[in-house]
Structure 1
Amino acid sequence: MRIELGDEEQPEIGLIALIDCIFFLLMFFMVATSFKQKETQQKDKAIPITLPRSAATLKLQDAAPDPLVIQVDRAGQVAIGDEKLSLEALHERLRDEAQRQPGRPVRIEGDGNASYQSIVHVLDLCQFEGLANIAMRARRE
């Protein structure tokens, strides 16, 4: 049995569905590309923060040994006293201090505009050499 459907129409591609698919692909690639750009931009930027000031101070005990004071300026340069050190020289100095006085306290004085990564790098070096008594100093108001 044969069913007559009328004139034989040529099959055609639905243009509306094709435009929708292309539109969704275009939107997907636009969004994916914008996420990729934001990730690379965030790696290059440092968040500008100002560290808080402390209103309270603690008096140190007289019997405690003098702490090793490490200063970090806003450019990330490290100094002990008046002597500016590279990170390799700081690593060697911390190794010597850990061997001479293992329990000696360390105080890190960071500039309010120093990058957080610079401070964390100094903390990591202290921890790597076994110096566990570490303090950070804030400025008084």
Structure 2
Amino acid sequence: MRIELGHDEEPEIGLIALIDCIFFLLMFFMVATSFKQQDGQKKQKDIPILLPASQASLVKAEAAPTEPLVLMIDAQGGVYLDKQKLSLQTLHDRLRDEAAKNPTRPIRLDGDRRTPYQHIVHVLDLCQFEGLTQVSLRTQP
């Protein structure tokens, strides 16, 4: 005995479930990207790294014909020359004077290992802007 349940329906793709999955993925990616912080708001690095020591710094370099101008950069980005903190405008003026006296004078940057790289790049940009191209970075042996 055969029971008739009605006519057979054609199988079809459940669009409602597919649309729900798409909206779920869309919401997931929207929420995941909202946790990204802006560069200015970040206080710590994403990946904490310590810069390696350079083996080449163990080798004594030949004495330079002129003493390098030593600029020290602390962890907060303050720039020091002869143990005196300089403002950015004073640093710019000092580099302009040094470039006028001797454009080939070497510059040595002593940066704290916790200094954000942007502060070092800013000082490098000022040196390059004034034409001081012999810049070196000091590392620990």
- TM-score with structure 1 length normalisation? 0.76
**Residues 16-35 of structure 1: pairs in structure 2 closer than 5 A:** 16-35=14-33
- CA gap of 1:49–1:81, structure 2 versus 1, over 3 A, is farther
Aligned residue in 1 for 2:61: 59
Aligned AA for 2:114? Answer: N
- Count residues in correspondence: 126
* Distance in 1, Cα, partners of 2:112 & 2:59: 18
Aligned residue in 2 for 1:49: 49
Alignment root-mean-square deviation, CA: 2.4
8 Å CA contact 1:49–1:113 kept in 2: the answer is no
- TM-score with structure 2 length normalisation? 0.76
1:69 to partner: Cα distance: 0.4
Matched, 1:81 2:82: yes
Per-residue CA distance 1:12-35 (angstroms, 9 max, x = gap): xx9x42242133123113213312
1:36 to partner: Cα distance: 4.0
Aligned residue in 1 for 2:7: none
Shift >3 Å, 4+ stretches = none
1:65 to partner: Cα distance: 0.7
**Residues 1-141 of structure 1: pairs in structure 2 closer than 5 A:** 16-38=14-36, 40=37, 44=42, 45-46=44-45, 47-55=47-55, 56-61=58-63, 64-140=65-141
23-32 vs 121-130, which moves further: 23-32
Aligned residue in 1 for 2:5: none
Unmatched segments (≥5 aa) in structure 2: 1-11
**Percent of pairs with identical residues:** 39
* Distance in 1, Cα, partners of 2:32 & 2:110: 39
